[in-house]
Structure formats: structure tokens, C-alpha cells
Structure 1
């Protein structure tokens, strides 16, 4: 399935930071984006419409294996959404994860997480905020 992103039906219903943290524990992934900053600061700075998780290319398959019983993965690229096959080894830069129990496994009427992966192995340090970053 490949279709254009449609904000009238593609509403985000993100998991909580606590649920995501439990789901990604041990995978090498970390909370990032606005909510990740809030967790790092220890306070909520604003309402968030989505939740971002960053993962290196080396850890992507481990993360996907940990999440695939609950979530379906979609490449989000240039305004289009395409369901990822189970055998995809080269992760997209932006992956939306939707509730696997959603009718017809549609995305992302029940989108839960946005996975961010660097475009190449050499870009991983510069492109993603690493979990060890301190103020």
C-alpha cells in the first residue's frame, strides 16, 4: 500500500513517554524530539502531537523486532506513506509506526511513534542527538 499523507484521516495518537521508554528498553534507541527534550529537562514544556524515537542504523532491526508485535511500520517520505515489508533491512530516514490492530493495518489513523534513522552510517553521530548528550 502506498498513498499520500492525508491530515484529515492521519491523526496521531502517540504512546506516552513512559510506554515508549519501556518498549525501546534494551534496543539501543532513545526518545528524541520535543518529548525527548521534556524528559531530559524533567518537565513538560508544551503539548506534543507526536513522539520521536531515534535509532542508529545498526540498531534499527533490533528495535523493529521489539515493536513489531504491536506496531506496523510505514515509510514516511515526501508526503507519501508506504507500508514496510518485514524483510526490509535498509531503514528509511522517517518511519511511522501505527497500531498493528488498526482496521486494515491502515496508517497512521492510529500512529504511535515516529522513528528517525540517519541516512547513512557515517551520518549517525552528526545527524542524531545521541542519548549521552548533556547540558
Structure 2
């Protein structure tokens, strides 16, 4: 019998696509949205690069409902690079913001659940609780009805530690952003990351 307390290899990713994730969550009535690189591809309307994983956010108070939707997956909290098995009757502690979900049949990680604060009505930026906006302003929807975080907010997240793939994401997304997205991104980069090379002159 498999010892689930021993976390699987972190490289064993064979993640769902946004469409596959949406199917798994079709009965969930609570707020959620795709984030990370996949969110930008939903904005662009096509897959533009390979993705190592897929991330989505959900509210902490809704964890049990999402866990039920992923009842066939083993869950591990992720903190500081360490994965710790989360028994079925447990919920993550307040210090946990990330849970990885492992498919024991396929022997692959399927999805990365990002736990956020806020409420069904209010979106809160996890790195600065002073940034709060109506959730309706922050979540967009793809042509297939898949919710995702607006691209300016995705790029703000990526701006903290820019990796080559983030640079690629920025440059392919920038020409598609309407004025309101550019203004939002510029305003919050100036506030949180003054001098950042992604700040576009107004």
C-alpha cells in the first residue's frame, strides 16, 4: 500500500487544461478562477506555450467544497518548497496558501490550488491586503465560460520575480491589452514595484 505521507516527486506534473479543470468544477458554486500563465492564454484565446502546471484560486472558507470536487486526488500543502500530506478530514492551516493535488491513479500532479482571502464580493491582492477591488472587476471569462484573473493582475503577480517565461508572457500579452488594463498595471507597478522595467509610460 502506498504511503501517502511521503510526497511524490515534485516533477511529476501532468496537469489538466483549463477546460478539464472547469469540467471538474462544474458543480461548484463558489468563486474560483484560473491564474498564472494559463490565465494569460485564456485572455489571448489560445495556448501560446507549454505550462508546467495549472493554478487556480479559491476562497479559504470554501476549501471543503473544492476538496469534495477533487475527491479522487491526494492533497499536499505546499510551503517554502515542502509538501506535506493533508488527510481527507483536515483543512489547511491559516499559514498555508497553496495545496497541490496528486492523482494516485495517473501518478501525476493535476492542479495547484491557491487559497486566497477576500470574499465572494471582494478580491484582495495576497501580497498587499490594501489592494481590494470588486471581484466582478477582477475576474474575466473565456469564450468557453472559464473564469480567469484579469491579465493586468496576472502580470502584477509575475512582476515580483521575473523569470524568462514571465518575460515572454509579458511581451506577448502587452500588445493585446486595452487602455484600462495598461493603466491598471502601470498604477500598481508604480505603487508596489517602482522602477520596474515593465512600467509603460502613460
Superposed pair shares fold, TM > 0.5:
yes
- Alpha carbons 2:77, 2:92 under 8 Å: kept: no
**1:81-132 CA distance string (max 9 Å, x none):** 1110122234531111000325xxxxxx5101001012x5589522298424
Q: Is the 8 A contact 1:74 1:95 kept in 2?
A: yes
**Cα RMSD for the two superposed structures:** 2.8
Give the structure 1 partner of residue 17 of structure 2. Answer: 16
CA contact (8 A) 2:13 2:53 kept: yes
RCO higher in structure (CA 8 A, sep ≥6): 1
Tell me, yes or no, if structure 1 residue 43 matches structure 2 residue 46.
yes
Residue in structure 2 matched with residue 52 of structure 1 by the alignment? 55
1:115 and 2:77 matched: no
Kindly name which structure, 1 or 2, has the bigger radius of gyration based on alpha carbons.
Answer: 2
Alpha-carbon deviation of 1:45? Answer: 2.6
5 Å-filtered alignment, 1:67-82, equals: 67-68=70-71, 70-82=72-84
Q: Report the Cα offset of residue 75 of structure 1.
A: 0.8
Match of 1:105 in 2: none
Q: Which residue in 2 is equivalent to 1:64?
A: 67
Tell me the TM-score normalized by structure 1: 0.75
Instruction: Kindly tell me the number of residue pairs found equivalent between the two proteins.
Output: 124
Q: Unaligned stretches of 5+ in structure 2? A: 128-134, 141-148, 151-180, 182-202
